Amino acid sequence: MTRPNLITGGAGFIGSNLAYRLLRAGERVILLDNLSRPNVERNAKWLERLFPERCKLVVGDVRDRKQVRDCVRQVGAVFHLAAQVAVTTSLVEPQHDFDVNAGGTLNVLEAARASDSPPAVFFTSTNKVYGELPDVASIAAKLSAPACPADAAALVVDESRPLDFHSPYGCSKGAAEQYVRDYARSFGLRSVVFRMSFIYGPRQFGTEDQGWIAHFILRALRGEPITIYGDGRQVRDALFIDDLVEAFLAARAKISDCQGEIFNIGGGPTNAVELREVLSEVAKLSERPLQLSFDEPRLGDQRYYVSDTRKFERFTGWRAEVGVSEGITRLARWLRELVAETAAPSAAEAKVQTGASP
């Protein structure tokens, strides 16, 4: 029987979508997650309910070497997604950020190396390893429409770009990805690094620090104010979650070619979008005016970032398929259902509120 897949951080936004795709295809999945992020337990329960025989949740932490080793030795592939994901948190607790992102990744790699049959390891890094990209921002500022595909294509960032770790988060993820790459070189581990741009989609419980499109939509649906850090002209290449999952599977299918490689993964020039454009889409979908306020830009925030994904396309044939407008519509549909579900009182609560016996 084919060995299961391990997804660290498997109850999170990306992990739960990847797990669903694998489980739906008949594969087995182990989710290793400490359930520390709000609402992710909901994702885990959803997967266990749909696939009770093939989905196993292990409540644990990548900082626990023994627990990681016990999980890794059972599997044929590790999708290492568990992380401290916010720049803001890393500035408050840099030691915690390092322990989770760098230390946890080393635990995964060592467990894979010690396995009798080492699994392939797929690691999600970040575009923050490139720093603030002031030269790109300077050029983009001179363009009349920096988010249009033609301009974005001229400003894409490829993997040859010099690294410039910025913020403790950038440092911890940058250190982790270099370990992942070097374990392929030094020990022959079948490992791949994804330097990811902005990812969005269903099962993302967006916050101000992570998952900004979902955060905007949630605030709008609830009639709550939205704070924009900067002027709203920041540009990102947004990648819908289904396309990211397909990228993972494409890399696994081509692991002999992708081993030891680092790839930029994002929506690319055709999915480059300004925050202001997203806000306009959100206002239409929520059918109400947005309550906006503006504050100073945050440390480490890139003014302009668009991924050059051509290297990964050459290696695997993958391409992003879901456009930003379609993706936002699909995410908004899921979040609208979530808001309705969480706002509705339970049957017992409803009886109490109406004066009926529970």
pLDDT of residue 137: 86
Contact 132/300 with Cβ under 8 angstroms? Answer: yes
Q: Which of 20, 130, 169, 179 is catalytic?
A: 169
| Helix (H), strand (E) at residue 32 | strand 29-33
- Average pLDDT by stretches of 10, the chain with 358 residues: 94 98 98 94 97 98 98 98 94 97 98 97 97 88 61 86 94 98 98 97 89 94 93 93 98 98 97 93 89 88 93 98 97 94 58 35
Q: Which helix (DSSP H) or strand (DSSP E) does residue 277 occupy? A: helix 275-286
Query: What's the pLDDT score for residue 148?
Result: 60
Length of the chain in residues, anyone? 358
Which structural domains are found in the chain, ordered by start? 1-131+166-196 (3.40.50.720)
User: Residues 6 or more apart from 221 whose CB is under 8 A from it?
Assistant: 286, 332, 335, 336, 339
- Looking at residue 175, what is its pLDDT? 98
Q: Which residue has the tokens 């029987």?
A: 1
Is residue 169 part of the annotated active site? The answer reads yes
Residue 54: CB atoms within 10 A of its CB come to: 18
pLDDT at 179: 98
Closest CA to 266 of 286, 240, 295, 231: 240
At residue 192, the pLDDT reads 98
* Whole-number pLDDT of residue 288: 82
C-alpha 204/C-alpha 275 separation (Å) is 18
